[in-house]
Amino acid sequence: ILGHPGCVWTVLSLPNGDFATGCHDGTVRIFTSCPSRKASSEDIAALEAAATASKAKSSSGPSSEEIAKLPRWDMRAVQTGRSDGQVQVFQRDGKAIAAQWSATSSTWIEVGEVTGSNENAGAIDGVSFDHVFPIEIDLRGGGVTTLKIGYNNGDNPFVTAQKFIDDHELDQNYLAQIADYIRQRTGASAPTLGMDASSGNTSAAPSMPSSSSTGNSASTSSAAEPVYKHIPMKHYLVFDAGAEKTPMQKVMSKLVDFSKNADGKSGAAELSPDNLSTLESLASTIVATNRYHSTTISDQQLDLIVHLLKTWPTEYVFPLLDLARLVVLHPNASAGANRRKYVWEKIVPLALAKCSLVSNGTVEGKTSNIAIPMLSMRFFVNCFKSTSSDESAGTVVAPFLDGIVDCAKAFSESPNKNIRLSVATLALNVSCFLMKQEASLTKVAITGVGEKIISLIQSMLSSGLYDNEATSRAFVALGTVLLISSMREKVMALDSNTNSITLLFKDVEKYGEKATAVAKEIQLVLKS
């Protein structure tokens, strides 16, 4: 066996009987049986040491330093996948988590933790492998079967994936997904830039201008549109914490407790065994984030959430809102126009009504008065995720935008930090939605909601209550609205007449580097 520091992507036979290998590290190595062409003992030793180190590294998994450099799991919403099935590794709680991009739902779906390979060695049908992994396959008639795939260090993941597909007569479209899964589980290197991950073939990368040519272009193209780093916001943020077993158990426990107390109160009834089973099944689906690509949310489960929001006393509904917040992030919960319409036309109005009751001071209990507005707004924040790839989303969402912004405005000066972060994030997602749907919404609708967003942001930023992160989100929302063509003149006229926008930048430096950078970009727009 000729060891290499990584995956060998190509082997070429040479006319003199030697052969060359192309490794992912960008090095071509020539191997020969002719003593006169033999490399020095130092070069041979260096290659063996590099190969040994590479194998040890892939066996031990990513180091803490490598994990620290990965993008954070809670910021994955701002990182869009390049293609369906792409695998990206994030850091979460000190661990490396692999996730796969779903173009359908525009979300990262968790695959699992990236670990070392020592514990993964095994055998399949008597054949030993450095790694043996389970792969779940959906059956045509329903259900799931688990198959095992074997992989040896140094093998080409695509060759292994193709053999697995052939052996089990699977859909050829699984090739890239399985190969990416192997790479992430084993620590094998990603393909060289410019390589087509689904085939292993290289293609020409697009040419990029050099720094000197970019400078020349800038000086001769005065009409070019300025490009800003932080604005506009192009992707929705989400609140997805809590989709783990322990926090979900707490939600279910609270629902059971409230169910007993709700019996007979305000006409509400205790959960029947069937309804409790429906909620438990829904919770199990939400917790299994690595199965989102194949699991579904039933109409019965959505109907039960609607029924309970309608019938339970307001002070008892916050666990339902928490559950709805996570349910709407499941790709199947709002996939397609009809299901998304269901969420917006049935659940959103109910959540808005609960917020209004809290803001009017008619809800009992300190916990409920904090949890209901916070979780309602976080539910609204997550609802926008289902609109990412659908141009018709504007017709479904538009009727509720005024109410959503009004809800945020009512709690914009809340003494609770978590509510304030929810307000800022909701303002950001509404702004992003207006930008994305500018072509499908009427000018009246955009300016009406846009003016409310400006008023909301002014309330937030002038309060002095918001921390660095929430302030940064508020500024990004302001910059996004400002870059909507039908809103720019209104905002600039407002600032020209009252100086009310410019005043928001006072002492912005105390809110950190990002808020300061966003504020500077907004000021450039105002001066343009």
- The reported pLDDT for the residue numbered 375 is 93
- Separation in Å, CA 111 to CA 81, 85, 180, 281, 386: 15, 11, 11, 21, 21
pLDDT tens profile 159-218: 888 888 878 877 777 777 888 788 777 754 333 222 333 333 322 222 223 333 333 333
Q: How far apart are CA 128 and CA 131, in angstroms?
A: 9
pLDDT tens profile 132-144: 888 877 666 556 6
Residue 205 DSSP symbol: P
Matching residue, tokens 């690595």: 290
Minimum mean pLDDT range among 196-210, 294-308, 334-348, 396-410: 196-210
What average pLDDT does the structure give for the chain?
78
Using CB atoms within 10 Å of the CB of residue 431, give its burial: 0 to 12 exposed, 13 to 18 middle, 19+ buried.
buried
Q: Which amino acid is it at 458?
A: Q
Please tell me the pTM assigned to this model. 0.60
**Helix-helix angle 366-383:393-410, to 10 degrees:** 150
Residue 88 DSSP symbol: E
Residue 378 has pLDDT above 90, yes or no: yes
**Helix-helix angle 299-311:318-327, to 10 degrees:** 150
CA nearest 420: which of 453, 452, 373, 385? 373
SS3 482: helix
- What element of type H or E holds 133? strand 131-138
Residue 326 has pLDDT above 80, yes or no: yes
Best-predicted range by mean pLDDT among 181-190, 262-271, 472-481? 472-481
Q: Quick one: average pLDDT of 460-484?
A: 89
Confidence of residue 350 (pLDDT cuts 50, 70, 90): very high
Q: How far apart are CA 113 and CA 91, in angstroms?
A: 10
Of 340 and 316, more confident: 316
Q: Where are the alpha helices (DSSP H) in 414-501?
A: 417-436, 443-463, 468-482, 485-498
Residue 338 has pLDDT above 70, yes or no: no
Residue 49 has pLDDT above 80, yes or no: yes
- Separation in Å, CA 71 to CA 66, 123, 243: 11, 34, 19
Fold of 245-527: Leucine-rich Repeat Variant (1.25.10)
Of 409 and 243, more confident: 409
Q: How far apart are CA 341 and CA 382, in angstroms?
A: 15
Q: Quick one: average pLDDT of 108-127?
A: 70
- Residues paired with residue 113 on neighbouring β-strands, in sequence order: 97
The answer to whether domain 65-186 and domain 245-527 are alike in fold is no
SS3 of 370-406: HHHHHHHHHHHHHHHHHHCCCCCHHHHHHHHHHHHHH
CA nearest 477: which of 466, 292, 120? 466
- The reported pLDDT for the residue numbered 43 is 86
Architecture per CATH, 65-186: Roll (3.10)
Domain residue spans in the chain?
8-60, 65-186, 245-527
C-beta neighbour count of 369 within 10 angstroms: 20
Q: How far apart are CA 182 and CA 237, in angstroms?
A: 29
User: Which residues, 6 or more positions from 340, have their beta carbon under 8 angstroms from its beta carbon?
Assistant: 334, 386, 387, 390, 393, 396
- What element of type H or E holds 144? strand 144-151
pLDDT tens profile 216-256: 333 333 344 566 788 888 888 888 888 888 889 999 988 88
Q: Quick one: average pLDDT of 147-159?
A: 80
pLDDT tens profile 417-437: 999 999 999 999 999 998 888
- The reported pLDDT for the residue numbered 265 is 56
pLDDT tens profile 86-104: 888 888 877 888 888 877 6
User: Which residues, 6 or more positions from 215, have their beta carbon under 8 angstroms from its beta carbon?
Assistant: none
**95-102 and 107-113: which strand pairing?**
antiparallel
Confidence of residue 313 (pLDDT cuts 50, 70, 90): confident
